[in-house]
Structure 1
């Protein structure tokens, strides 16, 4: 059984077999196959996250199934904010769980403020 650590031909297809590489070439070939922070960030920014409108139908179907258990899922996405999913007791309207929790939303808001005020928390350029 080979893994990326033992078989670098998976990460660097145009290289010689592992047995023909010296240790430095093996490490370089392995490192070349590791994604960079910038490429991961660009990929994350380019990926489309579903909005409330795209999730309404699946959530309605989940709610139909979960109605016999007395719970209901609610999605909210205020303009310019993050999507929030709430699980609510159908009878009392009491909030059972929220994802992300209020604490996480407050931390994210503070991080956004710090990012805007200081021009960035993380410098991606070396």
Structure 2
């Protein structure tokens, strides 16, 4: 598998990524949004509890893109198995 490098990710990619991930996680009472990690000086994606607003996890965009790719593969396998 090809790992996605953080330098290869544009703001548009991140916006699309957040929208896609929100579709996957909306049934889990979580919300995904943009954030900035000032300590490490980089943009991150925040996973929050949609009821309390508590930050559950901060994820670099590269890791989130790789995670989304895995989720899409899994959902494709599940969908294929049901047909």
TM-score, normalised to structure 2, is: 0.49
Q: Which one has a larger percent strand, Structure 1 or Structure 2? A: 2
The structure whose RCO (Cα within 8 Å, separation 6+) is larger is 2
TM-score, normalised to structure 1, is: 0.35
Larger Rg: 1
